[in-house]
Amino acid sequence: MSADTAKLFGPRGQMKIAVLATVAERPGHGYALAGRLNTRLGPSWEIERKRVYELLAQLEKEGLIEGEQVTRTGEWHRLYRVTPLAEEALAEWMTKRGRVPLVRADLHAQIGYAKPGDAEALLRKLDAYEQDCLQTLQRIGVGEVDGTAWRSRMIALSRAGMEEQLRAELKWIVRARRELREHLAEFP
């Protein structure tokens, strides 16, 4: 394969490969592809349309997709389709084992390097992170996916995994908050 697979399969490439998989599923223009990505992956990915357009441009430059300008009802759109190279990349993606990222790796790193005087700031960060997790849980809508078709089942399975991961993070937040408060009680 001639595409730079490190860029596709690395920790920063997950959104890029998801965009590629969306184009492979059905060609489309950027706005429609971004909508399909949001539907498929759910709110925990926080997909911005601007980022989808950037990734489409990168994928086209790398030869994984090709765009064609089409005009409908007087408006033009760039319609994206995969190339044969994309099919190879997607097949590799399905068999490659990736690293498992933490939900909030930056907060885990901050706690790992914190000094005793950072406890108050960490408690505020934990409060904000807890709110983010709770809001995302509300938006996931695991039960909202209907149907027994393969795609519907896989969307439901993916969202259930997100829900379980967020619930585990919420449990960890309770523990981290308790330990920080214990420290503050011992060393006011």
> For residue 178, is it within any domain?
yes
Q: Which residues of the chain have pLDDT under 70?
A: 1-12, 97-104, 141-148
Gap between the Cα atoms of 52 and 188, Å rounded: 48
pLDDT of residue 147: 61
Gap between the Cα atoms of 58 and 29, Å rounded: 15
- Examine the domain organization and report whether 25 and 87 are in the same domain: yes
Gap between the Cα atoms of 84 and 146, Å rounded: 33
Residue type for position 97:
R
> For residue 100, is it within any domain?
no
- Examine the domain organization and report whether 9 and 90 are in the same domain: yes
- Whether the CB-CB separation of 18 and 46 falls below 8 Å is answered with no
pLDDT of residue 143: 52
The whole-model pTM stands at 0.67
- Examine the domain organization and report whether 90 and 25 are in the same domain: yes
pLDDT of residue 2: 44
Domain range holding 160?
105-186
* CA distances to 26, 31, 93 from 56, in Å: 14, 11, 18
> For residue 76, is it within any domain?
yes
Which CATH number does the domain housing residue 69 bear? 1.10.10.10
> For residue 29, is it within any domain?
yes
- Examine the domain organization and report whether 84 and 110 are in the same domain: no
